[in-house]
Chain A
Amino acid sequence: MKILIVDDEPHLRMLIHQTLEELEDEGVELLTAGDGEQALETIRSEKPELVLLDVMMPKKNGFDVCQAVKQDDGLNRTCIILLTAKGQEFDRQRGQEVGADLYMTKPFDPDALLEKARSVLGL
């Protein structure tokens, strides 16, 4: 099982990685990507079960990545959790429109994120 962590900010990638690291003991592989294009490439090549996707990113934003994945018959079962700054209600609506499975705000609750990842992966 694979989880892809997508964020253009290295410290946030590291934080999410650290949050989920205990899943590695249960056979989960953690992958990372620093922009939307890299994310899309990794999703197509690695086919992760879960993608934690930042919204505001260079090259291709999270909405576009999400929409591309959800419109791809081979990938649309990938669970996508959008991560974005708090209080942007418009983003939440847009996230629903592009087919995101869940929406979490930053700063995220590490415990809640880990629990969600476990739930999606059936761990």
Chain B
Amino acid sequence: MARLTLRTLLGAKSGALAPLSALLASLEGPFAIENADGNVLLGTTSAGSTRIEVVHADSVLGTVSGPRAGAEAIAAMLIHLADKEAERRALAGEVLHLYREVHLIEHLSEELTALLDVSAVSRAALDQIRRMIAASSGGILVRENAGAPLRYVADFGDAEALPEPASAYAVSVLERGVPEIVNVAEMFAGAGSPAGATGTAASLRSLIFAPMRAKQQTVGMIVLANDTGDPYKAADLQLLNTVALQTAAAIENAALCAEMVNAARYREQLTAIQRELDTARAIQHSLVPRVFPPFPARTDFDIHAQMTSARAVGGDFFDFFLIDDDHLGIVIGDVSGKGTPAALYMAVTHTHVRSTALRGLGPGECLAEVNRVLVADNASSMFATCFYGILDTRTGQLQYSSAGHNPPYRIGAAGAVEPLESAGGTPLGMFQWKNYESASLQLAPGDSLFLYTDGVPEANNSELEDFTNERLEKVLGLSATLPTREIVSTVNSEVLAFTAGAPQSDDITIMAVRRSTN
């Protein structure tokens, strides 16, 4: 701001020159008005006249010379004019300051609206506020949610001078949600003062906190620190509070935007995973027989199966294949666990069982060989139960061995349902078990073999009751004369009716084989 001088007061803009000239002319003089440098601004000097200083705000602006009474009156008038000019300037300065505030707030609103990142919003707010409020350092503290701690997302100046996020001041402002000015007298022991003497106020650090409130919640705060010794005033607090409210809304928007972006990204990832799982499911289902009847030319036996995974991919598997014209291999298994790991282990186990069985090994030998390979390679600590049977389609003799799998049922043509005797060993991949026993069974014409995984008896209804083997046996007893396709569909329907829409917790696999009567 231009320095206040007598030249300014008497300048063309002030309008004081004409009345003052008239005043000087009307008094008995001569009078002269000189500025601080001794230059005559108005009137004429005369030797021996009295000189009266024109003093404003402890500063000598100049002198008035002439007869004492008149010189004193003119000096008093100049002092009055200087006071009024200083007042006008202060007022104009205040109006300009307010105008700057209006501009700042408007500019900030526009700027913040365009920013969608919490850090960028915070930096923009600090940049703007520094233009209006003196600060040696400052920062913006934000908390992610109601329970989270505060953390600085942007700052300037000496970070050491800013209060810790967990400081009593910050916590108090956060909890109360009201702005605060804190003047801290920094104390230190003056040079040469005895140790332990009371400290001397070295400097005054003024802190100002403005809470950022959005939707009735305090989401953070703006902190400014000034160590120049000038304390903050109520006007600073008011302005910072206004900026804090705008910043809070912008931060809220930025957080909301980030949330939406993350949600969209998450949805995309989920869709990609879902697509992969659909592909995996298709691949998994392609590993098990899908075409029924599988051997249309064979009338000496009838076979049907169905697999329903609890998730996109599961750990159950089944298979059947002709080892030669007279021997039908039948496999069913269940891998520990669920989901993708189980599905991968299922694929490995299934492939080993099939390839080993087709080498012509007996059921026990086949399971022992598969177990040997799986235990040797088992890095995942997974295992699989498995039943492998070989049906002599000419004689009806079934040789079988089970690696911990649920015993299949024989369904007699007259409706008798009985589980197969236990024979075999531990689940595949679990232990170095070498001696998987085999057993044999005679299927008479019209007898059926029913194989299943534990998803059938353990299917839960909404009261968490199991379907149970008892219910299964009852259904099987009533299905003895049905074609295998219908046995499978009947059991499946009964399980569905029992669970009545309760979520399927485990994979369900059902397989039925019948020795024909002809």
Contacts and interface: CB of A to CB of B under 8 A. Distances in A.
Interface of A: 11, 14-15, 17-19, 21-22, 24-25, 32, 107-111
Interface string B97-114: 001101100110000000
Interface string B268-289: 0000000000000000000000
Q: Which of A14, A18, A25 has the most CB of B within 10 A?
A: A18
Contacts of B92: 14-15, 17-18
Contacts of A21: 1-2
Interface residues of B, number: 16
A24 B3 CA distance: 9
Contacts of B100: 110-111
A92 to B, nearest CB: 18
Given A14-B95, A15-B92, A18-B92, 14 more contacts: A15-B96, A15-B99, A18-B89, A18-B93, A18-B96, A19-B96, A21-B1, A22-B1, A107-B102, A107-B106, A109-B103, A109-B107, A110-B103, A111-B100
Interface in B363-419: none
Majority secondary structure of chain B interface residues (helix, strand, loop or mixed):
helix
Contact of A107 (B3, B89, B95, B103): B103
Interface of B: 1-3, 13, 89, 92-93, 95-96, 99-100, 102-103, 106-107, 131
Contacts of B103: 107-110
A107 B2 contact: no
8 contacts: A14-B95, A18-B92, A18-B96, A19-B96, A22-B1, A107-B102, A109-B103, A110-B99
Given A18-B95, A18-B96, A111 B1 contact: no
A54 to B, nearest CB: 15
Given A22-B1, A22-B2, A110 B106 contact: no
Contacts of B1: 21-22
B336 to A, nearest CB: 70
B131 A111 contact: yes
B142 to A, nearest CB: 28
B11 to A, nearest CB: 9
